């Protein structure tokens, strides 16, 4: 039930009876501000031309008529030009009954729309790091929220498995690896390959320094360093399908994929479709030919292909190098075309950091100029970078926060803090491990997803693992507390299932919780429209806060009135259900006990 629309309809009827019919745009309903008494507020200023009376008199007349005409309304008050309406407690009992009876509460009806969400998109020369964690968590959560809104969602990953970056790791491994493998070293494959990417950079910098000491400029030295020239030669061999180069590339990428798979599993994210750049980088060449034929692109004297976007306020963009090799834009033109054709997409979303804003602006514009109307349905979910208290991360210098190490540290910290606070008392070792993992990862995920995606964020691991305040562990503990109450009810054979007694009186704290539950579908819808998991995070935190205040101030199992006790247990049950549902949309599990 859309309560605001319901109140708007009641108000419109009273206004028509008192003053004559007015347009719906003049009947403005909003939630009553917390400092005032009431549930919903009618703004009367737009109605004064019709009523021809003062704001206070108009509000009082409408309020008296609405309360007298509608049993759903209990009372009203007027603050200047605002009519604050308070709904009858039985109205909220009815809404609570509807929530409890609706197994799909909060989730939208099927839309028939198909949306592809591409996220992660790692390079195969290094393990995943903290920046990748934000990307993966954001993409996975947005996909879940879009699905909850009734869309068919395809979660996609494009692995950047070719190019100079992987050749750097391959060359360094050939030179300095001594045949080291994940098995012989005991390292995860992606960590091992990342080790040699750092090794390449170390030797590259050393060669640059030597060349500069011999009189070269820095730019000349960077271009002339033997190790870089050798890496570029290796890339040319790969593109020429040299058997030895392809064999080494296959082996080392295989190590990385195994490492990535473990990280994805530990992080709790997954994909429906995985693309590989080695298989897609040539896709855009036909589109380049098409653009040349249409006169949208032009060829320079050196054979390279460009598009001039200066009339659109942008610049000239390279689409094909003079040697005929592809650039990222070439590939993205091809993969976008392939995906819309293959899946008949309604929307294609790229979850990529804000440093690529210009790239996606150009991509959409180029596709539009080529005549592809679906270009308007490409969306770049641009997010801010993750920074640390001591600054930014650099992969090639080995100063990143590794995703695996971070997850392990979060789980370890969660275990230590849970033990200190007595949260694991009575747990078996297996249960303690499971809870520590759930809390550690929940803390990490919630801390990242509670921030609006567009904002750059500062990640502080210690702040994220706190059982008080706006944190994942606080919400997880609230869920565990509710499940403990319900277990006690089950052990005492207290039946709290079945129809809700609508005549049981509700206290204001219970009404406040029900009002929060009622808002869940609109929050899920708003999060889907704005692609912002932070709205879900804020909602679930507010619900957990309301429940904890209620739990502190009211008896539940010790309530003597059987009907009231039963209603309160049902309220606990629904709060736990919605907390679990909302946290699930963030990719966060909640424990049954802590």
Q: Which two tokens stand for residue 120?
A: 């992660």
Per-residue DSSP letter, 108: P
Q: Are residues 259 and 168 in the same domain?
A: yes
Single out the residue in 201, 235, 268 at which a domain terminates.
Answer: 268
Can you tell me whether residue 127 is helix, strand or coil? Answer: coil
pLDDT at 18: 96
Going by their DSSP bridges, the two strands 152-159 and 273-276 should be labelled as: parallel
Single out the residue in 231, 249, 268 at which a domain terminates.
Answer: 268
Q: Are residues 81 and 167 in the same domain?
A: no
* Euclidean distance between CA atoms 520 and 583, whole angstroms: 12
Q: What is the largest CA-CA distance in the chain?
A: 94
Total domain count for the chain? 3
pLDDT at 495: 86
Q: Is residue 192 in some structural domain? A: yes
Q: Is residue 277 in some structural domain? A: no
User: Alpha carbon of 507 to those of 88, 93, 127, 558: distances in Å?
Assistant: 12, 11, 53, 16
Q: Are residues 60 and 167 in the same domain?
A: no
Q: In which domain, by residue range, is 218 found?
A: 163-268
pLDDT at 399: 53
Q: Which two tokens stand for residue 330?
A: 């070439």
**What average pLDDT values come out for the chain (594 residues) when binned by 10 residues?**
93 96 94 94 96 96 97 95 95 94 95 98 92 95 98 97 94 96 96 96 96 95 96 93 97 97 96 94 90 96 96 95 86 95 97 95 96 96 84 48 90 90 86 93 95 89 83 96 95 86 89 96 97 98 97 93 93 97 98 88
Q: pTM, whole model, 2 decimals?
A: 0.92
Instruction: Return phi, psi of residue 325, to 5°.
Output: -80, 155
Single out the residue in 222, 242, 268 at which a domain terminates.
Answer: 268
Q: Are residues 447 and 574 in the same domain?
A: yes
Q: Is residue 378 in some structural domain? A: no
* Euclidean distance between CA atoms 297 and 567, whole angstroms: 69
Specify whether the CB–CB gap between 527 and 151 falls below 8 A.
Answer: no
Q: Are residues 186 and 83 in the same domain?
A: no
Specify whether the CB–CB gap between 529 and 536 falls below 8 A.
Answer: no
- CATH code of the domain containing 506: 1.10.730.10
Q: Is residue 377 in some structural domain? A: no
- CATH code of the domain containing 36: 3.30.1360.70
Q: Is residue 217 in some structural domain? A: yes
């Amino acid at each position: 039930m859309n309560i605001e629309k319901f109140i708007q309809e009641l108000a419109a009827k009273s206004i028509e009876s008192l003053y004559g019919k007015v347009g719906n745009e003049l009947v403005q309903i909003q939630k009553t501000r917390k400092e005032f008494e009431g549930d919903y507020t009618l703004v009367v200023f737009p109605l004064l031309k019709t009523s021809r009376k003062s704001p206070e008199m108009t509000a009082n007349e409408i309020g008296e008529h609405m309360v007298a005409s509608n049993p759903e309304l209990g009372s009203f008050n007027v603050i200047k030009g605002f009519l604050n309406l308070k709904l009858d407690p039985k109205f909220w009992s009815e809404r609570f009954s509807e929530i409890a009876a609706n197994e799909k509460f909060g989730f939208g009806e099927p839309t028939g729309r198909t949306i592809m969400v591409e996220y992660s998109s790692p390079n195969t020369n290094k393990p995943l790091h903290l920046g990748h964690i934000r990307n993966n968590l954001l993409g996975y959560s947005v996909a879940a929220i879009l699905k909850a809104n009734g869309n068919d969602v395809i979660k996609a990953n494009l692995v950047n498995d070719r190019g100079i970056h992987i050749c750097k790791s391959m060359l360094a491994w050939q030179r300095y690896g001594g045949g080291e493998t994940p098995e012989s070293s005991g390292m995860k494959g992606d960590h091992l390959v990342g080790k040699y990417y750092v090794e390449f950079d170390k030797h590259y910098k050393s060669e640059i320094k030597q060349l500069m000491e011999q009189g070269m400029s820095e730019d000349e030295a960077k271009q002339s360093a033997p190790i870089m020239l050798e890496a570029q030669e290796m890339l040319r061999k790969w593109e020429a399908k040299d058997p030895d180069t392809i064999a080494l590339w296959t082996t080392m990428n295989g190590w990385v994929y195994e490492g990535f798979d473990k990280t994805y599993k530990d992080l709790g994210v997954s994909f429906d479709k995985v693309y590989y750049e080695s298989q897609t980088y040539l896709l855009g060449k036909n589109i380049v030919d098409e653009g040349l034929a249409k006169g949208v692109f032009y060829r320079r004297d050196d054979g390279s292909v460009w598009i001039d976007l200066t009339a659109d306020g942008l610049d000239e963009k390279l689409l094909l190098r003079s040697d005929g090799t592809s650039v990222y834009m070439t590939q993205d033109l091809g993969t976008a075309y392939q995906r819309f054709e293959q899946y008949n997409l309604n929307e294609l979303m790229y979850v990529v950091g804000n440093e690529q804003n210009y790239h996606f602006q150009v991509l959409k514009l180029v596709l539009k100029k080529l005549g592809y109307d679906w270009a308007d349905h490409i969306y770049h979910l641009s997010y801010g970078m993750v920074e640390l208290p001591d600054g930014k991360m650099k992969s090639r210098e080995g100063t990143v926060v590794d995703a695996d190490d971070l997850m392990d540290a979060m789980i370890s910290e969660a275990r230590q803090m849970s033990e200190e606070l007595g949260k694991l008392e009575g747990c078996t070792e297996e249960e303690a491990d499971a809870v520590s993992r759930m809390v550690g990862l929940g803390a990490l995920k919630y801390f990242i997803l509670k921030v609006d995606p567009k904002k750059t964020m500062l990640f502080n691991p210690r702040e994220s693992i706190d059982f008080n305040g706006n944190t994942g562990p606080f919400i997880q503990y609230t869920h565990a507390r509710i499940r403990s109450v319900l277990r006690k009810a089950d052990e005492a054979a207290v039946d709290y299932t079945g129809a809700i007694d609508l005549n049981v009186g509700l206290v204001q704290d219970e009404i406040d919780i029900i009002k929060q539950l009622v808002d869940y579908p609109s929050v899920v819808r708003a999060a889907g429209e704005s692609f912002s998991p932070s709205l879900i995070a804020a909602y679930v935190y507010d619900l957990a806060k309301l429940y904890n205040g209620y739990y502190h101030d009211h008896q539940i199992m010790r309530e003597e009135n059987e009907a009231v006790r039963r209603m309160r247990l049902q309220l606990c049950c629904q709060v736990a259900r919605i907390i679990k549902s909302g946290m699930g949309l963030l990719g966060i599990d909640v424990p049954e006990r802590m």
